[in-house]
Amino acid sequence: MEQEAAGQQEAVAGQEAVAGQEAVRGRGAAAEPGAAAGAVPVVRGSAAVAVPGAPRPMAVYVARPAGEGPWPAVVVGFEMFGVTPYIRRVADRLAGLGLVAVVPDFYHRTAPGHCGIADAGGRARGLELIGRLTREEVGADLEAVLAHLEQRADTVGRPSMAGFSLGGHLAWFAATRVPLASVAAVYPGWLDTPGTALSRPEPLLDLTPRIAGRGGCRVLYLAGADDHVATPEQTARVRERLAAAGVPHEVVVYPGTPHGFLADERDTYRPAAAGDAWHRLAAFLAPEA
């Protein structure tokens, strides 16, 4: 079900959510991506996950709450820049909500360990790398990560996925391919653009009906109204396709907000929109936190 929200007022069912420019206070609303208010202590580590057909194990960054657990798990989809310190801090913050957060290195076949910079050169390299991703290989990566999570003693239940920019694109694909409890797609790019990343041969948005066949996977879609990648036209199509497929969902659009508004280390960062987005991510992915 879609919702509409203005500022801190509650949503009206059946309409697109338009969040106001005031940050919503409370769980998950702190501005800094690495330090949510009331977060639990976090343990950081890594894992090597074997993927059938891959030349080497896939590295996975792991952030989890301190203690024995078990906890729900969330797969984190990175931006085109790879497993950067920023995306690790995002995973740390999700772990602080009481989740086992894992960041697979989806570039492990072509550029293992890639950690790019958000500048012109970094974007050019990122576009080159996403052009080498395939549905078959990313699907195998996702299946291997879910098998790893199922084998861990500190996880429980069906995992979710949260993706940012390219990661949101990958999360959308994941929702059509593997069993997930929920998917948060934060300014996901190229869902309606054929020929980019996994929108080959057809746009990923055309696969949306498959989400409904994955056992009730919920979708949270967050984007800025001024986003040049997750464009307003894409957002309108997302809203239409999710509704037509009967997928439980919420679409939230932040007025006057660009792509990358959650990334606090860039000039695209918008504290108010980021605070509200973190509040929604916490409620969506970790409702018991």
C-alpha distance from residue 14 to each of 1, 239, 242 (Å)? 6, 10, 12
Distance from C-alpha of 86 to C-alpha of 242, rounded to nearest angstrom:
30
pLDDT tens, the chain, 289 aa long: 334 333 222 222 223 344 332 222 233 333 344 455 457 899 999 999 999 999 999 999 999 999 989 999 999 999 999 999 999 999 999 999 999 999 999 999 999 999 999 999 999 999 999 999 999 999 999 999 999 999 999 999 999 999 999 999 999 999 999 999 999 999 999 999 999 999 999 999 999 999 998 778 999 999 999 999 999 999 999 999 999 999 999 999 999 999 999 999 999 999 999 999 999 999 999 877 5
- Nearest Cα to Cα of residue 170 among 127, 143, 208, 139: 139
Question: What is the three-class DSSP state of 20?
Answer: coil
Q: List Cβ neighbours of 32 (8 Å cut-off, separation of 6 or more).
A: 264
pLDDT tens across 190-214, in order? 999 999 999 999 999 999 999 998 7
Residues in CB range of 230: below 8 A, 6 or more apart: 165, 168, 187, 188, 189, 191, 223, 224, 259
- Give the pLDDT confidence score for residue 60 in this predicted structure: 98
The pLDDT, as a whole number, for residue 61 is: 98
Mapped onto helix, strand or coil, the DSSP state of residue 86 is helix
Q: Global pTM?
A: 0.88
Burial of 89 (0-12, 13-18, 19+ CB in 10 A): middle
57-68: burial string, b at 16+ Cβ within 10 Å, e else: ebbbbbbbbeee
Residues across the chain = 289
Tokens of 215: 């056992």
| Domains of the chain, CATH where assigned | 17-285 (3.40.50.1820)
- Cα–Cα distance measured from residue 260 to residue 4, given in angstroms and rounded to the nearest whole number: 22
**Among residues 227, 207, 211, 231, which one has the least CA distance to residue 219?**
211
- pLDDT at res. 289: 59
Cis peptide leading into 201, omega within 30 of 0?
Answer: yes
Whether cis (ω within 30° of 0) applies to the bond prior to 248 is no
pLDDT recorded at residue 242: 97
CA of 45: how far to CAs of 60, 64, 65, 153, 216, in Å?
9, 8, 11, 15, 31
- Residue in the structure block whose two tokens are 């052009």: 131
Q: Is 239 left (phi over 0), alpha (psi -120 to 50) or beta?
A: alpha
pLDDT at res. 219: 98
List CB contacts of 254: < 8 A, sequence separation 6 or more.
18, 19, 21, 222, 223, 224, 225, 261, 270, 273, 276, 277
